[in-house]
Amino acid sequence: MNSEKAAVSGKQLTRKQRKELARRLWSQDPGLDVVHRDAAGIDIGSREHYVAVGPDRDPQPVRCFGCFTADLHRMAEWLKACGVKTVAMQSTGVYWVPVYDILQQHGLEVWLVNARHTRSLPGRKSDVQESQWLLKLHTYGLLNNSFRPPAEIRALRTYWRQRAEHVGAAGTAIQRMQKALTEMNVQLAQVISDLSGVTGQAILRAIVAGERDGVRLAQLKDPRIQSSQEEIAKSLQGHWLPEQVFVLRQQLELYDYHHKQMAECDQQLQAGLQSLPSQPCRPAESSEAARPDRAGGRKRKPKGNQPVFDLQAEQVRIAGVDLTRIDGVDVMTAQTIYSEFGPDMSPWRTEAHFASHLGLCPDNRISGGKVLKRGTRKVVHPVATALRLAATTLIRSKSYLGAQFRRLRTKLGAPKAITAMAHKLARLVYRMLKYGQEYVDKGLAFYEQKYRQQQRQQLAKKAKELGFQLVEIKAVA
């Protein structure tokens, strides 16, 4: 076949001849090494799955199976009877999850591949051709397996994502309460910053209970509220509409319901964390006095929507390191990382692979030595979103990372600087979890000194290229 390609390389072929040659090269000699010989491909669907094996494995190499559990077990038994050891399938919605689990139960190695990596060949219009195409790609090792955490981490991920849904729904209920108050011209938000706080909730529940006197409602204010009772009473002078009070009552009930569901998620999350094995901790990290958020050994109360139990202590126990030592990374961000990946970073060889998995690495499109497009891959991942939010909090941080973020923000602009700092945070997280390294902030002064030294070196290099020499001027006392 190589001689045939060499013979026609110097000739001008017609379109028909080129298509015939390409078809013959693909079917007889693809020029690739077989990596997975005992392979199969599955085209996942909502009602039925098409499974393809090699033509030498079965007289009917492509079969269709239903989506019921009995059909999936029958599929696995047929694959094992055909001598298949590894299976490739696309991540189509959530329909692949039961197929993945049942095939793993039968001892098959399952590869979950990205649909973007398998759609480059045109002309495949049927499910049969799709399954055969997956089989061919997987046989020659042209597909990458997607990361899927262990079962215990998947359980934590389910609880944490469900809890996040309730947190978002509770926030929506607060917004609708604010809308109802605004339509009644009750300007409570002008004097109280948070309606979900102690004072806001007390006043809202009193309004729903039938209280309309602004002076009595203002007496419910917490001593920490800076506004006076007179200002609060003045803001509560509105025209009370029965339909808006009805909406306010229903939104309060929804708010209480979602917080009750969050408490149940916290119970399941705590039980799931306690079932994970402990990792040895460094003495400095296990000491209460050495923790930056625990002065004098006193535990800080949970803020905002944090779980009521000591989530940070559980994180340190299962990982052996404290990710909250990194500036910008709080307990909620760290829990998002643990719920999505767990404390094990072995699936990624380097920190660059981990950052690329999150879509935080540059993905420049280059053709003919020219950069066509700059930017990162479009990856929607909860951890990437959490790290970007963590990066935005560094704008006022008096730390090494804060100074670096402000410099990047001035040089690159806010969007690119946020992505760059999220990339930096991802690398720090990988190092701490992979190697057990302890993060120590070197401070703002160290960064300024290091940056000044870099600027001096660059200026000296530029001056040398132009034939000059820099001379340091000492400040006169």
Structure tokens at 140: 């020659």
pLDDT of residue 286: 41
Structure tokens at 281: 């901790």
What are the helix (H) ranges across 275-350? Answer: 283-286, 311-319, 331-341
Residue 49 to residue 55: CA distance in whole angstroms? 18
Q: What angle do CA 438, 440, 446 make, to 5 degrees?
A: 150
pLDDT of residue 7: 45
C-beta atoms surrounding 49 within 10 Å: 24
CA 89 to chain CA centroid, nearest Å? 23
Amino acid letter, 97? V
Residue 114 to residue 154: CA distance in whole angstroms? 19
CA distances from 32 to 68, 229, 240 (A): 37, 79, 76
Which residues is 88 bridged to in the sheet?
A: 41, 111
Residues 6+ apart with CB under 8 A from 6: none
> Is pTM beyond 0.85 here?
no
Residue 415 to residue 421: CA distance in whole angstroms? 10
DSSP H or E run through 65: strand 62-66
pLDDT of residue 285: 44
Helix axes 400-412, 444-465, angle to 10 degrees: 50
Q: Which of 313, 246, 249 lies closest to 279, judged by CA?
A: 313
Which residues is 86 bridged to in the sheet?
A: 39, 109
Mean pLDDT by 10 residues, the chain (477 residues): 46 68 58 85 92 92 94 96 94 91 95 80 72 90 90 95 96 94 91 89 93 90 89 90 94 96 95 90 46 45 80 92 92 95 93 93 78 82 95 90 91 93 94 86 74 81 83 69
DSSP state, 141? Answer: T
Residue 398 to residue 404: CA distance in whole angstroms? 10
Residue 181 to residue 247: CA distance in whole angstroms? 10
- Residue 76, sorted as left (phi over 0), alpha (psi -120 to 50) or beta, turns out to be alpha
